[in-house]
């Protein structure tokens, strides 16, 4: 019996050692010299629409986290700017610089928080997985700097995230990080509240006439993008909003006010940028021989 126990022990140890070795060697072996690894600056050339919208949705945090954020112009800011205007090229360069930082930081946060432990990034070509998680990716799709280390996961407590990019809005990801069960009832994912902070936000109360006509609460208010660290900064932003209103909307100024609110930190924006990138990379086709 002792001999059988020893044999089983060593057999189990050898099986574990083999699995551990293969888990290290195989990810390294999936690449080859014929397909150079895509660097983060190369990946950042494909700035997603979701990342561009982060600047409009969370302007304060965006400006605080990304260098040259003021040079990265939104579609609204580029309205009327000629196609050959140097500001367009400068803007795109600034966008790519910010996006590269967001992808790098977001991937690091994803690894540090062990998101890969409960979410895989590997759709298996079996059991109708494509119907649940999207298309199967080839080795070339994983041949990027953002896939080092590979994050195929250890198990699936949550859904596979291989093709997560663009499936949901930025606001959905913000709500999901702050309170997972608000978007996914029954989720066992923890709330990542440390990626949120308190601040002050500009809001506008609903028109009382509209509220009465539609049967709405007259105290309902709508936020303006931007969460400021101090009440004074928020009031300054409120004054700027009021000054920008046309004469026909003069009555709107009286309904502007500031109050405390909670919003995502700059680190949360980077994590969201990384999640919105997943599945968007398409490797260049190999030239015909």
Instruction: Check which CATH number belongs to the domain holding 151 and give it.
Output: 1.10.760
As a whole number of angstroms, the distance between CA 205 and CA 201 comes to: 13
Residue 207 lies in a domain: yes
As a whole number of angstroms, the distance between CA 15 and CA 217 comes to: 65
Domain count across the chain: 2
**Per-residue burial over 114-152, b = 16 or more CB atoms within 10 Å of its CB, e = otherwise:** ebbebbbbbbeeeeebeeebbeebeebbbbbebbeeebb
Q: Which domain holds residue 228?
A: 194-265
Residue 96 lies in a domain: yes
pLDDT of residue 286: 60
Q: Based on the domain organization, do 248 and 205 belong to the same domain?
A: yes
- DSSP-derived letter for residue 125 is S
Q: Based on the domain organization, do 100 and 238 belong to the same domain?
A: no
As a whole number of angstroms, the distance between CA 72 and CA 52 comes to: 9
As a whole number of angstroms, the distance between CA 227 and CA 233 comes to: 9
Helical segments of 74-188, H only: 86-112, 115-118, 129-133, 170-178, 180-183
Q: Based on the domain organization, do 232 and 180 belong to the same domain?
A: no
Q: Based on the domain organization, do 168 and 229 belong to the same domain?
A: no
pLDDT of residue 127: 84
Q: Based on the domain organization, do 137 and 198 belong to the same domain?
A: no
Q: Based on the domain organization, do 199 and 255 belong to the same domain?
A: yes
Helical segments of the chain, H only: 2-29, 40-43, 49-57, 59-65, 86-112, 115-118, 129-133, 170-178, 180-183, 208-214, 231-244, 266-277
Q: Based on the domain organization, do 180 and 200 belong to the same domain?
A: no
Spell out where the chain has E strands: 196-205, 221-223, 256-264
As a whole number of angstroms, the distance between CA 246 and CA 237 comes to: 16
- The secondary structure of the chain in percent helix, strand, coil, rounded to multiples of 5, reads 55, 10, 40
Residue 141 lies in a domain: yes
Residue 2 lies in a domain: no
Residue 32 lies in a domain: no
Residue 4 lies in a domain: no
Q: Based on the domain organization, do 146 and 87 belong to the same domain?
A: yes
Extract the tokens encoding 187.
């989720």
Q: Based on the domain organization, do 135 and 254 belong to the same domain?
A: no
Query: Interhelix angle for 49-57 vs 266-277, to 10°?
Result: 160
pLDDT of residue 29: 65
pLDDT of residue 4: 79
Q: Based on the domain organization, do 122 and 177 belong to the same domain?
A: yes
Q: Based on the domain organization, do 241 and 159 belong to the same domain?
A: no
- Vertex 197 angle, CA 196 and 203, to 5°: 105
Q: One digit per residue, pLDDT tens: the chain, 289 residues?
A: 567 788 888 888 888 888 877 766 766 665 555 678 899 999 999 999 999 999 999 999 999 999 899 999 999 999 999 999 999 999 999 999 999 999 999 999 999 999 999 999 999 888 889 999 999 998 889 989 999 888 888 888 999 999 999 999 999 999 999 999 999 999 999 999 999 999 999 999 998 888 889 898 888 899 999 999 999 999 999 999 999 988 888 888 999 999 999 999 999 999 999 999 999 999 877 655 5
| DSSP-based three-state secondary structure for 78 | coil
Residue 212 lies in a domain: yes
pLDDT of residue 170: 98
Q: Based on the domain organization, do 48 and 175 belong to the same domain?
A: yes
Residue 14 lies in a domain: no
User: Which residues face 222 on adjacent strands?
Assistant: 204
pLDDT of residue 34: 66
């Amino acid at each position: 019996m002792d001999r059988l126990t020893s044999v089983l022990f060593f057999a189990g140890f050898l099986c574990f050692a083999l699995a551990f070795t293969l888990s290290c060697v195989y990810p390294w072996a999936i690449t080859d010299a014929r397909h150079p690894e895509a660097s983060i600056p190369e990946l950042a050339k494909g700035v997603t629409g979701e990342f561009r919208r982060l600047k409009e949705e969370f302007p304060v945090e965006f400006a605080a986290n990304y260098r040259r954020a003021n040079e990265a112009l939104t579609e609204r800011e580029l309205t009327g700017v000629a196609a050959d205007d140097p500001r367009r090229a400068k803007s795109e360069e600034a966008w790519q610089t910010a996006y590269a930082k967001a992808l790098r930081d977001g991937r690091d946060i994803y690894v540090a928080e062990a998101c890969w432990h409960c979410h895989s990034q590997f759709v298996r070509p079996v059991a109708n997985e494509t119907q649940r998680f999207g298309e199967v990716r080839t080795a070339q799709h994983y041949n990027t700097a953002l896939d080092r280390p590979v994050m195929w996961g250890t198990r699936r407590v949550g859904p596979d995230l291989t093709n997560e990019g663009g499936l949901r809005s930025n606001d959905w990801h913000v709500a999901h990080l702050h309170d997972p069960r608000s978007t996914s009832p029954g989720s066992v994912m923890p709330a990542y509240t440390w990626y949120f902070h308190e601040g002050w936000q500009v809001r506008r109360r609903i028109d009382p006439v509209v509220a009465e006509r539609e049967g709405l609460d007259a105290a309902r208010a709508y936020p303006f993008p931007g969460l400021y660290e101090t009440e004074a900064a928020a009031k300054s932003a409120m004054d700027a909003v009021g000054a920008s209103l046309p004469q026909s909307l003069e009555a709107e100024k009286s309904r502007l006010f500031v109050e405390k609110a909670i919003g995502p930190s700059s680190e949360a924006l980077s994590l969201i940028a990384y999640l919105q990138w997943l599945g968007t990379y398409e490797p260049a086709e190999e030239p015909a021989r």
